[in-house]
């Protein structure tokens, strides 16, 4: 099993890169895991209290559960990822996402390279490096259209947590990357390179070390 981790700042194009690679390889060959599904659940807190949590800090994620699920997949078993509702900052009580064991796992998220234990699982570590102006504009559109936020709340969150956490944790994690893809989904060469490396694994031509 080949495990690829794709990290980068908010709005960098991580998901676009992951989806592009999956489209090239075939959906039946890849298990896609979004770290966003693994935000910690805080049912004991009120909505107002949950809104004040710093969701851009590495501690906001339940990486222990994510690592446990990867272990199940490596053992050939299915795992059931939480489904996170960003409008209420909580996990769904009724819904989970089935993850099936396949030859390739792609894990995508802000802090995929920030966590040492998570990094140890990865065979290929990727960092998507995109201009901050582009990233914040994408974040504004996503948070307003998909997550029901106001422009003022996006502005306040960016200055109070998104930017500081990027500088403190995400940008430094770039040093762990095997491959850096500038401009995310716009970088066809980078996506092609990652796809070719993955295809070599599928065809038995893998030449790098294994876990």
pLDDT surpassing 70 at residue 211: no
Q: Position of tokens 């049912």?
A: 43
Residue 98 lies in a domain: yes
Residue 207 lies in a domain: no
pLDDT surpassing 90 at residue 36: yes
How far apart are alpha carbons 81 and 185 in whole angstroms?
25
Residue 158 lies in a domain: yes
The tally of domains found in the chain comes to 1
Helices (H), the chain: 14-25, 47-51, 63-74, 116-119, 132-147, 151-157, 163-165, 188-202
Residue 205 lies in a domain: no
Residue 188 lies in a domain: yes
Residue 208 lies in a domain: no
* Angle, vertex CA 108, rays to CA 15 and CA 31, nearest 5: 95
pLDDT, tens digit, for every residue of 148-203? 788 898 888 888 888 999 999 999 999 999 999 998 778 899 999 999 989 887 78
Report whether 139 contacts 37 (CB < 8 A). no
Measured in degrees and rounded to the nearest 5, phi and psi for residue 122 equal: -90, 135
Quote the mean pLDDT of the chain.
91
Distance of alpha carbon 205 from its chain centroid, rounded?
A: 27
For residue 8, the cross-strand partners are: 128
Report whether 124 contacts 71 (CB < 8 A). no
Burial (Cβ within 10 Å: 0-12, 13-18, ≥19) of residue 199 = middle
What's the whole-model pTM score?
A: 0.88
DSSP helix/strand/coil, 29: helix
- pLDDT-derived band at 147 (thresholds 50, 70, 90) equals confident
Which residue segment(s) compose the domain that 58 sits in? Answer: 2-199
Close Cβ partners of 171 (under 8 Å, ≥ 6 residues apart): 9
pLDDT surpassing 70 at residue 206: no
How far apart are alpha carbons 141 and 101 in whole angstroms?
34
Residue 204 lies in a domain: no
- pLDDT-derived band at 208 (thresholds 50, 70, 90) equals low
Report whether 106 contacts 16 (CB < 8 A). no
Q: Give the pLDDT of residue 10.
A: 87
pLDDT, tens digit, for every residue of 54-111? 999 999 999 999 999 999 999 999 999 999 998 899 999 999 999 999 999 999 999 9
Handedness of CA 176, 6, 201, 119 (dihedral sign): positive
At 47, which CATH number? 3.40.50.300
Residue 41 lies in a domain: yes
């Amino acid at each position: 099993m080949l495990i690829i981790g794709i990290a980068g700042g908010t709005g960098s194009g991580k998901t676009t890169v992951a989806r592009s690679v999956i489209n090239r390889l075939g959906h039946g060959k890849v298990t896609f895991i979004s770290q966003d599904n693994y935000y910690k659940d805080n049912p004991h807190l009120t909505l107002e209290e949950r809104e004040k949590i710093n969701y851009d800090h590495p501690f906001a994620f339940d990486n222990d559960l994510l690592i446990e699920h990867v272990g199940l997949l490596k053992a050939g078993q299915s795992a059931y990822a939480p489904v996170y509702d960003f409008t209420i900052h909580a996990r769904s009580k009724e819904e989970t996402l089935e993850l099936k064991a396949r030859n390739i796992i792609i894990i995508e998220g802000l802090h995929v390279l920030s966590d040492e234990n998570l990094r140890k699982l990865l065979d290929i570590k990727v960092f998507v490096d995109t201009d901050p102006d582009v990233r914040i504009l994408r974040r504004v559109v996503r948070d307003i259209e998909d997550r029901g936020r106001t422009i003022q709340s996006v502005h306040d969150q960016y200055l109070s947590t998104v930017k500081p956490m990027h500088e403190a944790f995400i940008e430094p994690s770039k040093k762990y990357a095997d491959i850096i893809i500038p401009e995310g989904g716009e970088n066809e060469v980078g996506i092609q390179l990652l796809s070719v490396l993955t295809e070599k694994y599928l065809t038995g031509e893998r030449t790098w070390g294994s876990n």
